[in-house]
Amino acid sequence: MRHTHLSTTARLEAFSDGVIAVIITIMVLELKVPHQDGIAGLYAVIPTLAIYAVSFAFTGIYWINHHHLVHRTEEADELVLYANLFFLFCLSLLPFLTSYVLEKKMDSFSVALYTSSMVFTGFSFLLLRLAIARRLRLAGKLEIQDTSVQHKHLYSLLTYLVAIPVAFYHPHLALGLCAFVTIIWITPTAGVKPREEDAPFPRP
């Protein structure tokens, strides 16, 4: 009876995967077929495709980080479940804000809103990280400090914070900064690649 409220993370992962899978995919419904025929239509749709790609990458990178974060703990308490729901809520606003930016033709305010939501989602992810750290502490486990990933989080957050004021002067540059964050994440960190290659045997 004691641990009624603790549950394995299996279903938390399954539900989060489902929600993130829907978020990442329904954004494609915002892509509207252009009125122009031929190559002109393709040109017209390129900015839309570019923002869709940024939002897709943003969501995908969060999925990978969520994956690593939840992997650390084997059980979730109520606080972790609610922090996870709050994170998913913030992330679920992304398709809305993506279409906001598109319908407002990337004006300053809509791009600032889009960038602010990225800061906000980062903040909700930090809350989830803290809730999981608390759970690990209560379970008497050591929290893994993955400094290279934490640095990436910090740099991303700083870039988004810089992008907000930039949006009011040069919205395209602000979107470019958001796209640049993707490159931070895809770039392998110095420590990761060697760690794998000199691994004497694969993890079972």
Subset of 125-144 contacting a second copy (CB under 8 A): 138-141, 144
Q: How many residues does the chain have?
A: 204
CB of 137 to a second copy, least distance (A): 10
C-beta of residue 147 within 8 angstroms of C-beta of residue 154: no
Show the tokens assigned to 117.
């939501």
CB of 38 to a second copy, least distance (A): 5
**Residue 85, interface with a second copy (CB under 8 A)?**
yes
**Residue 99, interface with a second copy (CB under 8 A)?**
yes
CB of 110 to a second copy, least distance (A): 8
76 three-class SS: strand
**Residue 3, interface with a second copy (CB under 8 A)?**
yes
**Residue 44, interface with a second copy (CB under 8 A)?**
no
Rounded Cα gap, residues 157 and 35, in angstroms = 37
CB of 12 to a second copy, least distance (A): 8
Using left for φ > 0, alpha for ψ between -120 and 50, and beta otherwise, residue 106 falls in left
**Residue 46, interface with a second copy (CB under 8 A)?**
no
Candidates 69, 111, 113, 167; binder of a second copy (CB under 8 A) is 113
Show the tokens assigned to 15.
């539900």
C-beta of residue 51 within 8 angstroms of C-beta of residue 57: no
Site stretch for a second copy (CB under 8 A), options 122-130, 151-159, 173-181, 190-198: 190-198
Rounded Cα gap, residues 126 and 35, in angstroms = 42
Q: Specify the residue, 104 or 153, whose C-beta has the smaller distance to a second copy.
A: 104
Q: How many residues bind a second copy (CB under 8 A)?
A: 77
Residue ranges of alpha helices (H) inside 104-188 are: 108-138, 147-169, 171-186
**Residue 58, interface with a second copy (CB under 8 A)?**
no
Rounded Cα gap, residues 81 and 39, in angstroms = 48
**Residue 154, interface with a second copy (CB under 8 A)?**
no
**Residue 47, interface with a second copy (CB under 8 A)?**
no
Q: Specify the residue, 53 or 130, whose C-beta has the smaller distance to a second copy.
A: 53
Residue corresponding to tokens 């759970």: 135
Of 141, 128, 54, nearest to 84 (Cα)? 128
**Residue 20, interface with a second copy (CB under 8 A)?**
yes
**Residue 153, interface with a second copy (CB under 8 A)?**
no
